[in-house]
Amino acid sequence: MICLHDATKYFSLMLLDETDKTLLKLLQKDCKQTNKALSNVLGLSVTAVYERIKKLENSGVISNYVALVNKEQVDKSFVAFCHIKLVQHSQDYVVKFEREVAKLHEVLECYHISGDYDYILKVLVKDMQEFREFMVKKLTNIDHIGSTHSMFMINEVKHTTTITI
Amino acid sequence: MICLHDATKYFSLMLLDETDKTLLKLLQKDCKQTNKALSNVLGLSVTAVYERIKKLENSGVISNYVALVNKEQVDKSFVAFCHIKLVQHSQDYVVKFEREVAKLHEVLECYHISGDYDYILKVLVKDMQEFREFMVKKLTNIDHIGSTHSMFMINEVKHTTTITI
DNA sequence: TGTGAAATCTTGTACAC
DNA sequence: GTGTACAAGATTTCACA
């Protein structure tokens, strides 16, 4: 787990060789593989794999290990993207909006972006009714929101957490 | 790992009690916790935790376990969102576009959406120059693309893989 | 059906080379 | 970087509510 005071560890970027990159690819696909299985693929000893993983963890390249949940299996199949414009862009308004939006568990992602709108949000709920509730009771209750524009997911073409290095 | 013929396992939604939900919350935050540590938090035996996790895996609620990589640490800090409109919406064009886009490793997410544009893509690259290369050499080389509109991330306010159930 | 305790087998981790 | 040795965890079996 990454703590605030660990930030000092990340001043310099770690140099990754091809073996590190392959290892990261494997771990991003399945982090429950045993070091023995990884050692077979990489052609290294178990200890070498162990040391490399520890180095990737300590340098902050690997931030954490998580279980991914199938949204359909937990009845959260409705994905919406909300564009948001603030009424003003003073430091005060921005900070407050960002803090409030981060608290909403329906919001999986929120980015400050260039363009016509200030923010884009990815929202995950059960269905259109729950989305309506979310908009009326939660999102638009946050101060300083000027306008919103929502788009709904028809189909998920691709969704990966794997970064190709 | 989920295989095609495993799909039969997921016909019915698994009913989750409060303990399951807490367990999922814990595993979505950190899947490397030992069953013993989880059993302490949940007030269950190690076996009970083990059985519950196996059930969540077999029912498809947990799809897989992955390492999350810090994009800044691997020099992929530039995030762009691309809206894409197709010239036509015949089955043929749609299928082909979706297949091609899924192949691009820079595209982490791609959704078919409602609204003015057909698709929204989340693209991850090193910098603006690499993004330009991506657009010119890869994305716009895909057939049937009518128009695109890109937005760039200024700041990441929130990004989680945790679904709150 | 779901839970707890002990037995065993596998894996992670540390150390010497 | 490798191989070995020991500690720790995962997994199975069986008894019990």
pLDDT in tens, A51-61: 999 999 999 99
Distance from the first to the final alpha carbon of chain B: 22
Class of the B78-152 domain? alpha beta
Note down pLDDT in tens along chain B; length 165 residues: 333 344 344 457 888 999 999 999 999 999 999 999 999 899 998 999 999 999 999 999 999 999 999 999 999 999 999 999 999 999 999 999 999 999 999 999 999 999 999 999 999 999 999 999 999 999 999 999 999 999 999 999 999 999 999
HSE (side-chain half, CA atoms, 13 Å) at A11? 3
Per-residue confidence band for A11, with pLDDT thresholds at 50, 70 and 90: low
CB contact at 8 A, B81 and B90: no
Minimum-distance CB partner of A60 among B66, B73, B107 = B73
- Residues of B within 8 A of A3 (CB-CB) are none
Taking CA–CA distances from A98, the nearest residue in chain B reads B157
The CA distance from B161 to A81, in Å, is 16
Residue A44 CB lies within 7 Å of the nucleic strand C:
no
Polymer length in residues for chain B: 165
**Residue A80 above 80 pLDDT?**
yes
SS (H, E, C) chain B: CCCHHHHHHHCCCCCCCHHHHHHHHHHHHCCCCCHHHHHHHHCCCHHHHHHHHHHHHHCCCEEEEEEEECHHHHCCCEEEEEEEEECCCCHHHHHHHHHHHHHCCCEEEEEEECCCCCEEEEEEECCHHHHHHHHHHHHHHCCCEEEEEEEEEEEEEEECCCCCC
Asked if A114's CB is within 8 angstroms of B151's CB, the reply is yes
pLDDT tens digits, A133-143:
999 999 999 99
Q: Is the pTM of this model over 0.85?
A: yes
B45 touches strand D (CB under 7 A): no
Distance, in Å, from the CA atom of B13 to the CA atom of B28, rounded to the nearest integer, reads 19
Same CATH topology for B4-58 and B78-152: the answer is no
Q: Domain B4-58 adopts which CATH fold?
A: Arc Repressor Mutant, subunit A (1.10.10)
Chain A hits for B81, Cβ within 8 Å: 111, 113, 120
The full set of domain ranges for chain B reads: 4-58, 78-152
Cβ pairs bridging A and B (under 8 Å)? 211
Residues of A in contact with B27 (CB under 8 A): 66-67
